[in-house]
Amino acid sequence: MTCVRDGGAVVEMPHRNGSAGKASRRNSKRSPVNTVIRKEGKEKKKKKGIRNGPSSSYSPPPQSPLHSSVAFTFPDGDCSLEHSTVLQHKGPLVSCDIPRALPINIDEIPTAAVFPAMSLDRSLPIIQPIRTTDFNQILFEELRITKEVFFSAHSIEPLVGTVGSGARALLGNGNDTSLTSASEVDSFRDCDGDDACVSESSDSGEVERNMQMRSADSTPCRPSSNNLSQREEDSDNEMPQHVRIPSPVTFRDPDSDDICDEESDFDEVDSFPVKQKAENNGKKGSCYRCFKGNRFTEKEVCIVCGAKYCQNCVFRAMGSMPEGRKCVTCIGFRIDEINRSNLGKCSRMLKWLLPESEIKQIMSSEVLCPANEIPPNLLYVNGERLNHKELLLLRGCPNPPKKLRPGHYWYDKVAGFWGKEGQKPCQIISAQLDVGGYIKPNASNGNTGVLFNNREITKEEVWMLKSAGIPCEGKPRFWVSADGCYWEEGQRNAKGRIWEKTKTRLVVSILSLPLPPAKTNSREEMTRNSLGQNDCHHRLLLVGFDKSGTSTIFKQAKILYGFSFSEDERQEMKLMIQSNLYCYLGTLLEGRERFEKEILKKKGKSLLIDQTSPSGQERFERGSSREKGKGLMIDGCRSSETLYPEETKSTYSMGSRLKGFSDWLLKLIASGNLEAIVHSASCEYLPLIEKLWKDEAIQATYNRRNELEKLPRVATYFLERAVEILKEEYEPSDMDILYAEGITSSNGLASMEFSFPTSAKADGYIDSIDQHYSMMRYQLIRVHPRSLGENCKWLEMFEDVSIVLFCVSLTDYDEFYEDNKGLLINKMMASKELFESVVTHPTFYKKDFLLIMNKFDLLKEKIEQSPLTQCEWFGDYHPVIDHKFNIGTYVNLAPALAQRAFHYMAVKFKRLFHSFTERKLYVSLVTGLEQDSVDESLKCAREIIDWEREDIPFINEESVASLEESSS
Ligand SMILES: Nc1nc2c(ncn2[C@@H]2O[C@H](COP(=O)(O)OP(=O)(O)OP(=O)(O)O)[C@@H](O)[C@H]2O)c(=O)[nH]1
Ligand SMILES: [Ca+2]
């Protein structure tokens, strides 16, 4: 029998039955005084019966009076709640010793500390619930010892766990302070053990954390003098602890043989009891406790029973979460395996409600506490079921498998490859662990004939080997070591390392194959590992027809999400920009020639010139060899000008010296040897180029640039700064890189990992959405159709992308290209064809698609001049021009027309998509050169990825609206 000391006032409540919770809530609302609730032990007994049912190896002696106590104190003196149980034995005579309840000194009862000043008005003060001590904990203590053995065997120093104090109370100033349901009160009765300890989270790596957690968690279960003195110290230095009641049951010495013999028996049973799913008594989608809200109200889900609580109820229902997000009544129960993937992933709601340190603690207990651990008997490795020792080896090794779920796995002990049975490897874990059976050749269900440490590898792995230049013909057998060295069977010398080349690493990342755990040189990788960010990948595949803007979007993403371009990339880009610039110049020169010829033709004199003068190029070459060393004299050929008959002079004619240079340049460009000029001679030619650019004929041509089909619009951006850009010391800005055509030389394949940064908006609501997303990792993969091969067969490589972003240029409808048979093909039709092959590719069966309709800015410019009907697919486009907008000529109709045209094209694509898939195509309108536009579109993609998840009520309404609209 325990009392609570709180300003001396102890109020005894009359005996209550099951409705105690509700009654006391009402009561406390009326009078916020100290309250003592006592409860009859019947329900307790029932509860025990469930928890230690026939499957459990331990049930408490039924005759023992159970004795437990929990104290609540609210430091503001508002009210307090205490509950205590004494069970009277009514059964037959007891045959064994009855443990005695020890008297307790009231002064020694600690009170829960005040939760630091946070404005958690909604939360009720709750103390750390007390957990049952049961046999399973003994088992875990056992396992901890095993683990220590592992560590000492692997000369890793086990850390002495910081036994953090678990007592923690959340204080609110609401006066609704009692527990609601009888079952909640019940849970406190269950507890006769110690409070769960939560280790101080440390950054010193997963192993250490595991270790800490283990020792912290298993400490209480074997009362030893060590533990007790440790506890005493703790309570002196830190927050107050709850009274520890010695367990009424004594256990056999865990080191003794008979325990070991029985170990396999424990494997048979589930370590922790299972609980049924909770049922919501309120309306669908409402909070399980207050029955308010709907499915869009943000809620926290209990990882055991699935009950969902709104932010007002979450702390009342879940207390201080010693085992993570579980109802107080679910503590000590096994989690629902469905939720395993969410362990340790904090929800937006908690992020919002709790300070970061709290969250860290809760999340680490959620991941590491024994009750939430995966039961070893649900794990099979190479066909053999694991026992606890093996599970510990596996989890405690330096590179443990991530995301361990119940199921069947294969493990290549030689190289550490690890994967789900019948699937490609998903991770490379520590090698040489003695777990599970022998690997079978068909473990990963490969059908390539290539063997890796006796396992037939998958096609992805063969692609990887090919990218590393390892020949796979003739069904070779390889031995691979943990560091990637490989031998062909029967040979003595290693042939090389698999993951050496950057290209291989890119391919590996695109194919979702594992890399060996980083030792690590790459800083990015290191931070990613330490943040545990390697998990939770959503892959976005960006693909589109030639020049649709995929690389622009890729580069925008790179600039947007915090990656600047590396030095190497900048160098590569510089080279590319400079070569492009020569091409633009070349196009101008060709244009000039054309315009000149047109004029001459008009005058009927073009033939004359060709016959009477040596070609410009010859003259230039002669001139330049003569004047070698002196630099080039631009005006040195005045005499040759006389060769030009006076009549041929036109706006588009150039001085012969420049003409010579221009011909030479054109020849070089045609030979494709641009990099050579860029590298060797650009400064030498710089004055000449400057002259060229300023030349009247070139300027006149430039003014007619719209007529030069081959000159891309971005050329303007670069041409006007030609001299600056061609200088050796030129360094491209982000903007230059963005505008430049092309990305890198890696065959149209590029990949980047990112997360969406949190925006700095003051509005907390938005921030929490951002925060939710900022924890997820995304990978954007851009691939050019050129590298997809015939019938897009390499799309196979991308089978695990979450979404396909298909990019279409809105301006393609009136543009044509010449195919290899010389036929003119409409680019929109070509784009449509590619779209069809991607959508119908078996790899993308049931995948979400987001259609990025790009270059809206350009559409606005051309829509008035060029009707959509130029593309045969859009033959039925007859927009009704709304004349009420057309009052006066100053009204710019283009945006409205462009919007309508976009809408029409979007619907065309949507129908096409639907005809293949019976599903909905998402569409996003983009101007690739505008950052915000790309940002919005990629955020739209992430929302689509999240769409299925019911607990994401926040969807950018605008983008949905625009999608809905375009589907109408
Ligand atoms: N005005 C305008 N230009 C754009 C837009 N998006 C892309 N471009 C330009 O269109 C050209 C082609 O874009 P890229 O991003 O290189 O296209 P791509 O899909 O990579 O095509 P490939 O060159 O075949 O690899 C580039 O010059 C871009 O600068 C846009 O929204 N507006
Ligand atoms: Ca490009």
**Angle, alpha carbons 377-380-382 (nearest 5°):** 155
Q: State the distance from the centre of ligand 2 to the C-alpha of 929, rounded, in angstroms.
A: 13
Which residue owns the Cα nearest ligand 1 atom 9? 549
**C-alpha 784 to ligand 2 mean position (Å):** 9
User: Which residue among 551, 735, 743, 932 is best mutated to probe the pocket of ligand 1, counting the most ligand atoms within 8 A of its Cβ?
Assistant: 551
Q: Mutation test of ligand 1: which of 541, 547, 808 has the most ligand atoms closer than 8 Å to its C-beta?
A: 547
Q: Looking at residue 815, what is its pLDDT?
A: 92
Least confident of 122-136, 338-352, 673-687, 699-713: 122-136
Ligand nearest to the CA of 736: 1
The sign of the dihedral angle between the CA atoms of 728, 731, 735, 737 is: positive
Higher pLDDT, 827 or 470: 827
- Going by the DSSP 8-state scheme, the letter that residue 391 receives in this structure is H
**3-class DSSP state of 340:** helix
Whose tokens are 């207050």? That residue is 290
Tell me which of 729 and 239 has the higher pLDDT: 729
pLDDT at 665: 83
Residue 551 known to bind ligand: yes
Give the model confidence (pLDDT) of 854-868 as tens digits: 999 999 999 989 999
CA–CA separation, 644 and 187 (whole Å): 104
% residues pLDDT > 90 (the chain): 23
Contacts of 567 (CB under 8 A, 6+ apart): none
Higher pLDDT, 615 or 530: 615
Q: Do residues 442 and 419 touch, judged by C-beta distance below 8 A?
A: no
869 and 828 Cβ atoms separated by less than 8 Å: no
Q: Is the dihedral of CA 178, 179, 181, 185 positive or negative?
A: negative
Residue of 573, 741, 934 to test ligand 1 pocket, by largest number of atoms within 8 Å of CB: 741
Least trusted range by pLDDT, from 53-67, 523-537, 783-797: 53-67
- Judged against a pLDDT cut of 90, whether residue 621 lies above it is answered with no
Whole-number average pLDDT of the chain = 71
Residues flanking ligand 1, CB < 6 Å: 544, 546-552, 712-714, 739, 741-742, 784, 854-855, 857-858, 927-929
DSSP notation for 246-272: PPS-----TTSHHHHHHHHHHHHS-SS
E strand intervals along 414-521: 417-420, 425-428, 451-452, 455-456, 477-480, 485-488, 496-497
Cβ atoms of 219 and 161 closer than 8 Å:
yes
The tens digit of pLDDT for each residue in 360-406 reads 899 988 988 888 888 888 899 999 999 888 888 888 888 888 878 88
Q: Tell me the pairing of strands 537-544 and 777-783.
A: parallel
Atom 3 of ligand 1 has which residue's CA nearest to it?
855
pLDDT at 727: 85
Coil, helix or strand at residue 106: helix
Going by C-beta distance under 8 Å and a sequence separation of 6 or more, which residues neighbour residue 260?
A: none
* Smallest-distance ligand from the CA of 853: 1
Q: Tell me how far the alpha carbon of residue 843 lies from the centroid of ligand 1, in angstroms.
A: 27
Look at the block and give the residue holding tokens 């949507």: 910
Least confident of 423-437, 719-733, 871-885: 871-885
Say if residue 420 carries a ligand binding annotation: no
Q: Mean pLDDT across the stretch 947-954?
A: 48
User: Highest mean pLDDT range out of 10-24, 220-234, 795-809?
Assistant: 795-809
Calculate the CA 379 to chain-centre distance: 26
Residue 843 has pLDDT above 70, yes or no: yes
pTM of the predicted model, to two decimals?
Answer: 0.54
Res 888: pLDDT? 52
Atom number of ligand 1 nearest to Cα 544: 19
Of 545, 552, 862, 926, which is best to mutate to test ligand 1, by the most ligand atoms within 8 angstroms of its C-beta? 552
Question: pLDDT tens across 470-495, in order?
Answer: 888 888 898 888 888 888 887 877 78
Q: Residue 693 and residue 418: Cα distance in Å, rounded?
A: 61
Q: How far is the CA of 549 from the centre of ligand 1 (A)?
A: 4
Dihedrals φ, ψ of 266, to 5°? -65, -30
Q: Three-state SS across 291-306? A: CCCCCCCCEEECCCCC
Report the C-alpha gap between 195 and 217 in whole angstroms: 10
Task: Quickly state the pLDDT bin for 809 (edges 50, 70, 90).
Answer: very high
The reported pLDDT for the residue numbered 814 is: 93
The answer to whether residue 312 scores a pLDDT higher than 70 is yes
Confidence band (pLDDT; 50, 70, 90) for 231?
very low
Q: What is the mean pLDDT of residues 880-885?
A: 61
Asked if 750 contacts 781 with a C-beta cutoff of 8 angstroms, the reply is: yes
Segment 549-583, tens digit of pLDDT: 998 999 999 889 877 788 888 888 888 898 888 88
Ligand 1, atom 20: closest residue by C-alpha: 551
ipTM above 0.85, yes or no: yes
Range ranked top by mean pLDDT from 2-16, 27-41, 738-752: 738-752
Provide the H-helix boundaries in 291-387.
Answer: 314-318, 348-353, 356-368
Judged against a pLDDT cut of 90, whether residue 140 lies above it is answered with no
Return the ligand 1 atom nearest residue 784 CA. 25
Q: What is the mean pLDDT of residues 397-420?
A: 89
Q: What average pLDDT does the segment 206-224 reach?
A: 38
State residue 789's pLDDT score.
75
Report the pLDDT value the prediction gives residue 616, as an integer from 0 to 100.
47
Q: What is the pLDDT of residue 511?
A: 80
| Residue with CA nearest ligand 1 atom 13 | 549
Contact 718, 725 (CB under 8 A): yes
Q: How far is the CA of 549 from the centre of ligand 2 (A)?
A: 7
145: pLDDT strictly greater than 70: no
Pairing outcome for strands 824-826 and 816-818: antiparallel
pLDDT of residue 380: 93
Residue 746 labelled as part of a binding site: yes
**Which ligand 1 atom sits nearest the alpha carbon of residue 926?**
31
Ligand 1 atom with least separation from CA of 545: 19
> Quick one: which of 161, 248, 170 has its CA closest to 197?
161
Please tell me the distance between residue 748's alpha carbon and the centre of ligand 2 in angstroms: 8
The rounded distance, in Å, linking the Cα atoms of 814 and 195 is: 73
What integer pLDDT is reported at residue 639 of this predicted model? 36
Predicted pLDDT at 834: 95
Cβ(557)–Cβ(737) below 8 Å: no
Q: What is the mean pLDDT of residues 928-940?
A: 94
pLDDT of residue 64 exceeding 90, the answer is no
Distance 620 CA to ligand 1 centre (A): 36
Task: Kindly state the average pLDDT of the residues 151-171.
Answer: 35
Structure tokens given for 203? 């950054």
What tokens were used for 251? Answer: 């256990």
- Express as a percent the part of the chain with pLDDT over 70: 61
448 near 470, Cβ under 8 Å? Answer: no
CA distance 930 to 938: 13
CA 399–ligand 1 middle distance (angstroms): 43
Residue closest to 501 by CA, chosen among 539, 537, 466? 466
pLDDT band at 605 (very low <50, low <70, confident <90, very high): low
Element (H, E) at 476: none
In this structure, the number of other CB atoms found within 10 A of the CB of residue 734 comes to 15
Indicate which ligand has the atom closest to the C-alpha of 749. Answer: 1
The alpha-carbon radius of gyration of the chain (Å, integer) is 37
Half-sphere exposure of 332 (CA within 13 A, CB side): 25
How sure is the predictor about 182, in pLDDT bands with cuts at 50, 70 and 90? very low
